[in-house]
Structure formats: C-alpha cells, structure tokens
Amino acid sequence: MKHTIEEIQKLATDIRKDVIRMVSHAGSGHVAGALGMADIFAALYSEIVHHDPKNPLWEDRDRVVVSNGHICPVLYATLAHAGYFPQSELMTFREFGSRLQGHPFRTSLPGIETTSGPLGCGIAQAIGMALAAKLDNKKYDIWCIASDGEMDEGNTWEALMCAAKYGLNNLTVIVDRNNIQIDGFTESVMPLEPLKEKYEAFGWYVLEIDGHNIAAIIDACAMARSIYEKPVIIIAHTIPGKGVDFMEFDPEWHGKSPDLQETEHALKELRTLKGTIEEM
C-alpha cells in the first residue's frame, strides 16, 4: 500500500471537513451523500485508481464516472487533495463562473470524466467507456459511482443488462447503499431489496461491504479487478451524513446546507472522527 489505513482515514476526515465548509459557504448543495462516500473516495484515489494528477488526460488512466453527480463536493475535495487543482479553489463551490459547479461538468476541471446531473445515466456512460477500452485493447478499468436512489430509474437496469451481455470485466460499479433519497428512505419511496439478488439475476458478480471500512473497500476493489468473467457491483453500505450526529440517517440532509451554528458543530465533531477499520 502507498498509504496506511490511518492515513486514508485522516484524508477521508479532511475531505468531510471540506465538504461541510464548501456547502456551508455556498449556502446550497448536498452533504449527506458526500459525507457518506468520503471513505470510498479517499481509498479510491489513494490506493485503487490508476491516475496521474500531473497528467489528467493520461491515455491509460482508469476512468472514474460519478453517476450521482449531486455528491460532487466529495469528488471536488478528493481531486483537490490529490493535486488536480488548488485546495483554495474549493471555496468557490457553486459560485457564478466557478469551475466547481453544483453538478460536475466534464471540461471544467481536470480529473472529471463525465458531466452528470440527471440520475440513472452514469452506468450507461461507464459501459460505453468499458466497451471502448475493449475495442481498443486497452487495459485500464472503469469505476462507476452510483446511488441507490437512482436504481429507481429503468434505464439503469437496461444498462446493467448490457454490461452483462458483453462481459465487461473492466467495469466495477460501486453503489452507495445509504438508504435515503430526496423524498425520504429508499424502501418507502420505491423498495429495492433484495438488491444483491437482483444484480446477480442481471448477470453481475456482487460484493457487499461496509462502506466506511477502508480495508474492506481496498480488498473489494482488488477482488473486483480479479473477476474476469463478468462486471462487478460493490454494494457499499454507508451512513448518510457520516461523522456528523445530527445529519446521520436523516433524509432531510440529502440536499440541504448547514447554517453557521450547524457548520461549527459539524466541524467540531469531525475533528474527533477517527473512522473505523473493524470488520462488519
């Protein structure tokens, strides 16, 4: 490993702090999902994804597709910490003319592979990249981040069938299973379970992990690279609003910015967050 578990945990906490500062300063944005995915993004860009911040268009880089573009604060903070652009620019989030818009725009920042906003499109985009890599005999991998809420979209399941048909073993989808979406809890809005069995029925190899367990994240992604007969889905069970007590498990924070007092409370909590390396 290039980094220790503790170093990646610290990075995830720093990313969470940036998410809070960015959304609070902007007065709008999505915090719950961004906080919940910080451990996965920290692990991806520290240990898993083959990338080069000094050469963001490196032809053989892995591609990271963020289908659930509303969690872009965690993407921006991660890219800044990785060296794609100055961390000071994070505080321009959602400002008029900023490169850090409320949903990612592909050509605005180095390290962003797709424009995303409408949910349900990212897996199909990732499939296109994976097919292109196969046709060009390239060895890079595609990593797609998707939300559980967008599994309500019919085109998501059409895409899942397509990936299985072509045996895209260079594609891994990480599903943020945080059980919330904009209208409430997923199982109340549109029940998804049994989710693992559904993915398997659609021809995917499925892994389930604690999305806050750094070691488990790294191990699952390594296993995904070793599966050669089909694409892989990693169901990552996460806590929306992870690290901030009044945000955790509360759908209200799907798309809401904290006020000044809430921001101070959140940052105080995050200063004591150490993360977890325990097994599920």
Name which of 68, 162, 159, 156 is nearest 118 in CA terms. Answer: 68
Homologous superfamily, domain 5-270: Thiamin diphosphate (ThDP)-binding fold, Pyr/PP domains (3.40.50.970)
Q: What is the DSSP secondary structure assignment for residue 237, as one 8-state letter?
A: E
pLDDT digits (tens, 9 = 90+) for 79-90: 999 999 999 999
Please report the pLDDT score of residue 276 as a whole number.
Answer: 40
pLDDT at position 35 over 50: yes
Summarize the confidence of residues 12-39 as an average pLDDT: 98
What confidence score (pLDDT) does residue 168 get?
A: 98
pLDDT at 274: 59
pLDDT (tens digit, 9 = 90+) per residue, 161-202? 999 999 999 999 999 999 999 999 999 999 999 999 999 999
pLDDT of residue 2: 84
Taking the C-alpha atoms of residue 25 and residue 127, their distance in angstroms, rounded to an integer, is 36
Share of the chain above pLDDT 70, in %: 98
Centre a 10 Å sphere on the Cβ of residue 86 and count the other Cβ atoms it contains: 8
Give the residue extent of every domain in the chain.
5-270
Q: Are 197 and 206 in contact (CB under 8 A)?
A: no
φ, ψ for residue 273 (rounded to 5)?
-75, 125
pLDDT of residue 92: 98
Which pair of tokens denotes residue 141?
């991998």
Return the pLDDT at 117.
Answer: 80
Averaged pLDDT score across all residues of the chain: 95
What's the token pair of residue 67? 């289908």
